[in-house]
Structure 1
Amino acid sequence: MGVYYAEVWPRWSDMDAYRHVNHAQTVTLLEEARLQLLYGEGARHGGALVDGGLVVARLEVEYKAPLFVNGNPFRVGVSVTKLRVADFTLHQEVHCGPSEADKVGVVANVTLAPYDLDGERPRRLTEQERDFLAGWRSESENGA
């Protein structure tokens, strides 16, 4: 599989005075794209990826070009670059429009860790979770 492509729609409230998506709202759009893979696609493969909980352990965002709010969705590529026992890293690229041909405006890497909500502590990935994530593994560490 390699790269999962999500479509995210910016809201009017995401826009700043310059008509582009505010940097903080961009993080929310990144989250929406991740959720489409982890919960939406995960449900199609036998259940949501992490029913108990999932926490962000690290987030790096590089803003390369403005994402303008113009009535079109953004295409977001999501792939797994690291898969460890108790966490994994997703590489995300937000295109400035709905097509893969649109330039990349934002690149992000987020490390996520499964969390046991009842026990209030991190936990290891299950075999099913690791198998699902491995299907979205990219060819390289940086997601390219």
Structure 2
Amino acid sequence: MGAFIAEVALRWSDMDAFGHVNHARTVTLLEEARVGLLFNEAERHGLTGMAEGMVVARVVIDYHAPLVYRAGVLQVRMSVRDLRPASFVIDYTATAGDTASVTTAETLMVPYDLAAGRPRRLTDDEREFLSEWQLNPALADKEYGLA
């Protein structure tokens, strides 16, 4: 299918003393975008398990340009890769205004059973849903501005 696109509003409180969005707030903005995919879009497809337990096992962020509040909206393109039985990676490219890319990031996600207090395997339906958001490897570099 390709990338899932979410738009996240920037808030005045996201800025730091240097006039750009603070790095910790960037992680939160990416989280808000991810909720759009893993919780809202998944629920539209009848899947509620991801909203009931999904944890970030690793996050990596590369900053390419300052993100400023006056940009208004952060557009986040997300796709899935390394889809495994009990984990997957979400790749992000975030843009704002006329800036080509303000940040790229990845999160290693692990489904989690809150009641049992341990990781769990993805269900077949979850794997099928996530596979819809995988990019064709030949197009992935172009999609994320790496070509």
TM-score w.r.t. the length of structure 1 is 0.91
Task: Give the equivalent residue in structure 2 for 1:27.
Answer: 27
Mind listing any 5+ residue stretches in structure 1 that lack a counterpart? Answer: none
Higher strand share: 2
Offset at 1:43?
Answer: 1.2
Shift of 1:47: 2.6
For residue 129 of structure 1, what is the aligned residue in structure 2?
126
**Amino acid in structure 2 at the alignment position of 1:105:** V
**Per the alignment, in what secondary structure is the counterpart of residue 103 of structure 1?**
strand
1:139 corresponds, among 119, 136, 142, to 136
**For residue 108 of structure 1, what is the amino acid of its counterpart?**
A
Q: What root-mean-square deviation, in Å, do the aligned CA atoms of Structure 1 and Structure 2 show? A: 1.6
Superimposed CA distance per residue, residues 68-126 of structure 1 (whole angstroms, 9 cap, x where no aligned partner):
101611110000021000000000011023xxx64100000100000011111100000
Tell me how far 1:12 sits from its aligned partner. Answer: 1.0
Residue in 1 that maps onto 2:43: 43
Q: Which has the higher helix share?
A: 2
SS at structure 2 position matched to 1:38:
helix
Give the structure 2 partner of residue 108 of structure 1.
105
Q: Which amino acid aligns with 2:118?
A: R
Indicate yes or no: 2:7 matched with 1:2: no
1:49: Cα distance to partner? 5.1
- Per-residue displacement from partner, 1:13-44 (whole Å, max 9, x unpaired)? 11012321011100000000000011111111
Q: Which residue of 2 is the match for residue 57 of structure 1?
A: 57
How far apart are residue 45 of structure 1 and its match? 0.8
Paired residue type of 2:91: H
TM-score of the two chains, using structure 2 as the length reference = 0.89
The answer on whether the counterparts of 1:38 and 1:48 sit within 8 Å (CA) in structure 2 is no
2:71–2:96 Cα contact (<8 Å) kept: no
Contact 1:2 1:138 in 2 (8 A): yes
Partner of 1:72: 72
Listed one character per residue, the Cα deviations across residues 34-67 of structure 1 (whole Å, up to 9, x for unaligned) are 0001111111111335143111111100011011
Secondary structure of 1:113's match? strand
